[in-house]
Amino acid sequence: MLILVTNDDGIHSPGLQALAGSLGDLGRVVVVAPDRERSAVSHSLTLHAPLRAEEVAPGHFAVDGTPTDCVNLGLHGLLAERPALVVSGINRGGNMGDDITYSGTVAAAMEATLMGVPAIAVSLEAAAFTYEDFLPAAAVAAELATAMLTHRLPADTLLNVNVPAGPSRGVRLTRQGKRRYGDLVVEKVDPRGRKYYWIGAGGAGFVDQPGTDFHAVHHGFVSVTPLHLDLTNYRSFAALSAWNFSGWSQDSGLGTIEPGAL
């Protein structure tokens, strides 16, 4: 059985090495990962430049592209067979709540899901990120991968896994939480007297609601959030179709929702 491993922190990340090591017990692991740090590139795809893949070690390909490029290139070019699973991570830092939309780690799993391959994204929410710090999360990833291969994921679903530092208190099935955003742009002046700005200089915390990814990890549990790529807000259909707006076509609205989606 073939498992494709990727990440967004780059092929030299200890998180990726710990993950590839633990998944090696389940099957043959091939790594296709960015050749450098590509965090927060989200689901970007390189369409207007060539991509190079260098086999830096047997079965380890470093690509000068994004995590999404790596999955795409892995599935359609580098791998001789279709993998049974794509696992992305282990990311240096959590990918929870609204931060998921920026995440290259999660986007790699999204790309695999779009290609019909079961996928997990794994992130470690911790203060230290040595190889040893990633080992408990790597063990959790291998356990979840085994469960996924046994039970099969529902269609169009990927698992976003966030692991707290150290030994965890168990695993919780969670929903996506809410981050609080503050004044995150820092304005400074460079040595030539010109202003510059730095985004994301400090996290503003999160809404501590039970049932969410943040809440589980904050309380020492591994968080497993099933995600899908349908961004439609079905709950808004009733409110929008009630607008006094003459432009709505007769056949738009709730009638277009697939049965069972609500």
Contacting positions for Mn ion (CB under 5 A): 8-9, 39, 91
Half-sphere exposure of 1 toward its Cβ, with a 13 Å CA cutoff?
12
Closest residue to Mn ion in the complex (CB): 39
For residue 92, the minimal CB distance to Mn ion (Å) is: 5
For residue 63, the minimal CB distance to Mn ion (Å) is: 15
Q: Among candidates 227, 261, 216, 31, which has minimal Cα distance to 119?
A: 227
Nearer to Mn ion (CB atom), residue 103 or residue 113 = 103
Mapped onto helix, strand or coil, the DSSP state of residue 242 is coil
Nearer to Mn ion (CB atom), residue 6 or residue 39 = 39
Nearer to Mn ion (CB atom), residue 16 or residue 30 = 16
261: left (phi over 0), alpha (psi -120 to 50) or beta: alpha
For residue 140, the minimal CB distance to Mn ion (Å) is: 18
Dihedral angle at the C-alpha atoms of 51, 55, 56, 62, nearest 10 degrees? 30
For residue 62, the minimal CB distance to Mn ion (Å) is: 16
Nearer to Mn ion (CB atom), residue 36 or residue 52 = 36
Sheet containing 85-92: order of strands:
53-57, 60-63, 28-34, 2-6, 85-92, 119-125, 158-164, 222-227, 171-173
Handedness of CA 231, 114, 57, 47 (dihedral sign): negative
For residue 70, the minimal CB distance to Mn ion (Å) is: 13
Nearer to Mn ion (CB atom), residue 9 or residue 133 = 9
